[in-house]
Chains A and B, each alone.
Chain A
Amino acid sequence: MTHFLVTRILSAVFALLGVICLVFLLIHLIPGDPVEVMLGESAQPIDKETLRHALGLDLPLHQQWWIYFKGLLHLDLGTSLFSGRAIVDLLIERIPATLYLSLISLIVAIGLALPLGLVAAVRQHTPLDYGAMGFALFGMSIPNFWMGPLLILVGALWLGWFPVSGREGWNSVVLPALTLGTAMAAILARMIRSSVLEVLGEDFMRTACAKGLSSTRAVLYHALPNALLPILTLLGLQLGGLLGGAVITETVFAWPGLGLLMIEAIQQRDYPVVQAAVLCISMTYIVVNLLTDLLYAWLDPRIQFTTGEG
């Protein structure tokens, strides 16, 4: 178990370092002179040199990387080119909104996917199954940026139940969370279905049924807990899609989170902020995946025997 812990955490640290490297290199991916792109063409040479120096782009690459990394260790991500504010402050301002939206979306997703997936699995090859899976297929295929405006039209304008956009009042989260949550629920429901189907085929389920357990109890108390383990891992992975999708959804709903910050920064050519936002979201993703894996290992004693295999 300790071996597993150590290797898993080491691999997360390695991934983290890799992510930092790639994010650091992002600014060098800008075609041509990054300083010129940030300032716009025909910028004054003096302005360009000032910015180049301020960003440390006049140093050799390894020195730049070291400065960037040292800054990270001190939680110093530089200052925004656009607003002149410390990027860390910008992130701290935006993180709660994104976390909140992700959490509510996750609840929506699980709340939709669990019943759908269960029903589909238990009533496999019945109209209920086809209906649930058809619904899931639709959910997977509707892009967030189309679903969002339609929800605004219906929920905010026709029904008048929710604010159009922004983060004002407790109910402003509903429409963006529905947009994000349904997309995730669609994929999740399919996974839950196959996961439960697999468990239903296991020996202990036959035993449970043979013992005369009611089918409801058998599914809820025996099949579901066993199917939940793989679903848990999946949730961690799905969070990536959620965080990525949040960028578009936040834009549609003007939700003041990290995703919107990133899009605004791209439009403002404020690349240090783009870097910081990508880093922040990716780090969250790594940490969440690490935690789900650890949780998985903790819940499932078999794990320690399955490590170390290629």
Chain B
Amino acid sequence: MRLWLPLSIIAVWAFLAIFHPILSLTPDAIDLTNILSPPSLEHWLGHDELGRPVADRLISGAHTSFFVSLCVVALGVGLGSLLGVSSAYLSGWVDVGFVRIVDVMLAFPGLLLAIALAGALGPGIGNVILALGIVGWVGYARLARGQVLALKHADHVLAAQAIGAPPWRIILRHLLPLIMAPLIVEASFGVAGAIIAEAGLSFLGLGVQPPAASWGSMIRDGTRYMLVAPHLVIFPGLTLMAVVLAANMLGDWLRDRLDVKEQTSRRPS
């Protein structure tokens, strides 16, 4: 239950996000005669304020959130762990400088920095990924560095060094595999954070631009009509919450399973 429920939600989300082009959806098709029509048998989530099918837009929004969170987390884990591991392994001035940079990045409240960056870069989904990526890598870097510091004097690393293995080989073969577990846990929480952050930026009007759909912009538009058409705010909100909840539950499960200590990390809320 703790595994299968979140896993199936994530699977449905990923499936819809990946295969939405072949589902022949019409998320942007405006039908003025169907404005704010409530859920019906034919269109079981109703239509929005422009007569667009809410179900289609939810799936289109799933694509947005999936694409953004995947990119952000991949960017963060990739860049962050590489920098963190290298810094800890190389130590010395490199490491001191790195810790300083990480400190500065951590001195910003994460979401605040992302909003400011997205505001400066201008609206658009590419800039959202960039802004969240810039903010997101730090957590993974800090985690990876801490892990390597604990491991770099482990016997097998010392042994590899003794036989003259090059640093990149030690990092890739002997260190990275061992620190994957906490990174995976952190990444699964990172997915939840990225989904909420993307929706938040889109809610503020800094993310996707009309007519594209995001759960965040759907919630924003939905709140305008919540008095007359509550389905517009309820469905995207529930969907968003379900996926975020699933990602968090999966993170919890992985953490217990992989025996990783809870991070005191910041998560954008």
Contacts and interface: CB of A to CB of B under 8 A. Distances in A.
B115 A262 contact: yes
A147 to B, nearest CB: 9
Given A26-B116, A190-B262, A310-B149, A285 B107 contact: yes
B175 interface: no
Contacts of B192: 140-141
Interface string B160-204: 000000000000000000000000000000001000100110011
Interface string A112-138: 000000000000000000000000011
A29 interface: yes
Nearest to B114: A244
Question: Which of B119, B121, B248 has the most chain A CB atoms closer than 10 A to its own CB?
Answer: B119
A30 B123 CA distance: 11
B120 A146 contact: no
Tier of interface size on chain B: 35 or more
Contacts of B223: 149
A291 interface: no
The secondary structure that dominates the B interface is helix
Contact of A244 (B120, B244, B268): B268
Interface in B73-122: 100-101, 103-104, 106-113, 115-117, 119-122
B100 A14 contact: yes
A266 interface: yes
A251 B269 contact: no
Given A37-B122, A146-B241, A274-B116, A240 B266 contact: yes
Tier of interface size on chain A: 35 or more
Contacts of B104: 14-15, 18-19, 21-22
Contacts of B107: 15-16, 18-19, 282, 285-286, 289
A30 B205 CA distance: 17
Contact of B111 (A27, A239, A244, A289): A244
Given A187-B267, A244-B109, A282-B108, 7 more contacts: A15-B104, A183-B269, A190-B262, A241-B111, A244-B269, A245-B269, A248-B200
